Amino acid sequence: MSARKEFRDLAEPEEAHAAIASLDLEPAPERVPLSEARGRVLAERIDADLDVPGFDRASMDGYAVRARDTFGADEADPVVLDLVGAVHAGAKPDVTVEPGTCAEISTGAVMPPGADAVVIVERTDERRVGESADEARDDESVNTDEVEVERRIEIRKAVAPGDSVMLAGTDVAAGARALGPGARLTPREIGLLSALGADEVPVRGRPVVGIISTGDELVRPGGTLDSDAGQIYDVNSYAVAAAVEEAGGEPRLYPHAGDDYDEMERLLVEAAEGCDLVLSSGSTSASAVDVIYRVVEAQGDLLLHGVAVKPGKPMLVGRLNSSAYVGLPGYPVSALTIFRTFVAPAVRRAAGLPEPRTATASGRMAVRERYGEGRLRLMPVGLIEDADGETLVYPVDKGSGATTSLVEADGIVEVHPDTDYLAAGEAVDVRLFSPDVRVPSLLGVGEDDPALSRLLDRLSAPRYLPLGSREGLRRLRNGVPDAAVVAESVDRKASSADENDAVDLGGWTREWGLVVPAGNPGGIEGLADLVERDVRFVNRDTNSGLRTSLGDAVADLAEGRGATRRELVESIDGFELAVKAHESPARQVAAGRADAGLGLRATAEKLGLGFVPLGDQRVTVRANPDRTEKPGVAELAAALDDLGPILDGLAGYGARP
């Protein structure tokens, strides 16, 4: 009988940070071409070995002069100098400016010998010998190709030595410290290094991070998935790899490992030989099949097993030969949360990168949130702005196994172990998942609907949580979302949202009923067949507006038969088998797992299935009455005013009466 490996005493978060900090992740410096250096960190100081610029150059178009020759010049009494030639950018001067002379010069050109200042062209006039200044300006009859003309320049402003001249070494002087170690190479630094003639630069190495996902149920994206065998796509390998790269590391994906000890040991040892840090996800919890901690103990040193934090308690920290090792939980939300909280700072330090300065936000809790579990909670949250532009923070907790939490949450609020609850309106700080996180233009909650998906495509940056009509109304009453999408029977006179002063922005109708196999081989004609015959049925969850309409129809059928609603519900095989999305029952029918499913005519036609109509529903978009002036809500209202193209081609859909 195999012994179950229990968690050791859970370490405090500070101990986990210290354990990871004790691991050596820092790679050796390397030299990279300047073209590949953006975003890297200098490993050593770079001194200039030449002046930048390497010559005295004109900073304006005009005339190169000896400054002393211009003293006393003004508009009323200009100084006249002989023009001895011209100097252009990129060419070596072939003239010398002697006393009483000047040379035409272009911006960026080398200052000719003898000159120490530039008079800008706007402060000069040209004069030809033998003509007055007015004649020189106004007489266009002289053909300078046929008549040799001696050109002179009137200087109408005195200049001092150095005026409109950039002296050699003004930007960077030879021997000066140009950039120091630890400087991050942005386009500005790349430009400076280019000016110094550097074609490659010494930079801090990026820690190489090996990533191994474990578990017999995982399949890499692109592979063939057998859902009947409990297989799921490998989320963590790619999500964690992207997080490693964001933190400044170089991710390296290794082949998928199952739960076999020998294969896991082989992959971990291989990764440890080629990487500075090895990350695994999954196989860290305390169960008989989880063997990874035994591999670490056999091949290295296990420093920590289990942290007093939620989510992410089953974390491992240790060493594998000469490489650092961290075992992440298997659920994607937990894995990314633990990586960002504990591992990403260590990767950034090893790469020489600072902590992101803009990756935090402040706001106030939109709703009350209970806790009280006695360990640090890293609570995923979303952000939304109210009508006044103030940031509201709401919990996003669908469980660590819910992949959609990765995109529905914007960051983490740390809840202290001693906290019993966070009050509505309480100020909180949010550690954002990325500096690129932006508050959505609109937060909507409610019914899952294909027309709604098209509507959202027309909005700038919406976020929509398809939690069902009932949950949408509940959250709208709590004041969190900007809008709720509610489906209800057409013949209903009112809804609880009306009583809450929610603003009706518009909507549509849709035909609902039973989705059956193509051709309806079972001859299902209505609800009575579900009650009276041996029919496998798939329902929607209780938050769905479709489920509510079905419940009303069952109640009407029961009343007509003199029975109770419960009696009819109990006679329907699968009435309590609820799925969340609007296409899910239809897909169960298409796969042959059910004879009928609750759904929409549009879904049946899309999937090539049969349809038995049961009625029409009204779908209404209701706005938070305090947010009607918010730009995102106004954009939603404008889109609802032009529903024709949205409903086009959706079978069973129409304009709302």
Do 636 and 505 form a contact (C-beta atoms < 8 A)?
yes
pLDDT value at position 3?
A: 42
Strands of 311-400 (E only): list them.
Answer: 316-320, 323-328, 360-365, 369-370, 376-385, 391-395
SS3 387: coil
Do 486 and 505 form a contact (C-beta atoms < 8 A)?
no
pLDDT value at position 235?
A: 82
Strands of 190-282 (E only): list them.
Answer: 200-203, 208-213, 218-219, 232-233, 250-253, 277-281
The whole-angstrom separation of Cα 217 and Cα 230 is 6
The whole-angstrom separation of Cα 256 and Cα 218 is 8
pLDDT value at position 321?
A: 85
Radius of gyration of the chain (CA): 37
C-alpha closest to that of 356 among 437, 263, 426: 437
In 167-260, which residue ranges form alpha helices assigned H by DSSP?
187-195, 236-246
Which H/E stretch holds residue 229?
none
Structure tokens at 478: 């709590």
Please list the ranges in the chain whose pLDDT falls under 50.
1-6, 132-133, 136, 144-147, 286-289, 400-401, 491, 493-499
pLDDT value at position 258?
A: 67
Do 440 and 422 form a contact (C-beta atoms < 8 A)?
no
pLDDT value at position 422?
A: 92
The whole-angstrom separation of Cα 556 and Cα 169 is 91
Contacts of 586 (CB under 8 A, 6+ apart): 515, 597, 599, 603, 604, 607, 609
Query: Tokens 């196999």 map to which residue?
Result: 517
pLDDT value at position 52?
A: 84
Q: CA angle, corner 493, sides to 492 and 494, nearest 5? A: 100
pLDDT value at position 138?
A: 53
Structure tokens at 301: 């040193």
pLDDT value at position 112?
A: 97
SS3 574: coil
Structure confidence by residue, pLDDT tens digits, 589-624:
999 999 999 999 999 999 999 999 999 999 999 999
Please tell me whether the overall predicted TM-score, pTM, comes out greater than 0.85 for this model: no
Which domains does the chain possess?
13-26+207-351 (3.40.980.10), 30-53+170-203 (3.90.105.10), 57-166 (2.170.190.11), 360-439 (2.40.340.10), 445-655 (3.40.190.290)
CB count within 10 Å of CB 301 equals 12
Do 199 and 36 form a contact (C-beta atoms < 8 A)?
no
Do 221 and 253 form a contact (C-beta atoms < 8 A)?
no
The whole-angstrom separation of Cα 43 and Cα 40 is 9
Do 442 and 458 form a contact (C-beta atoms < 8 A)?
no
In 533-596, which residue ranges form alpha helices assigned H by DSSP?
545-561, 565-571, 584-590
C-alpha closest to that of 513 among 608, 604, 646, 590: 604
For residue 625, say if its preceding peptide bond is cis, omega within 30 degrees of 0. Answer: no
Question: Crossing angle, helix 292-299 and helix 261-274, to 10 degrees?
Answer: 50
425: left (phi over 0), alpha (psi -120 to 50) or beta: left
State the DSSP code for 34.
Answer: G
pLDDT value at position 495?
A: 47
Which H/E stretch holds residue 62?
strand 62-65
Structure tokens at 648: 């086009």
Do 405 and 333 form a contact (C-beta atoms < 8 A)?
yes
C-alpha closest to that of 5 among 289, 304, 330: 289
Q: CA angle, corner 460, sides to 456 and 461, nearest 5? A: 80
C-alpha closest to that of 16 among 346, 359, 469, 357: 346
C-alpha closest to that of 235 among 251, 217, 249: 217
For residue 329, say if its preceding peptide bond is cis, omega within 30 degrees of 0. Answer: no
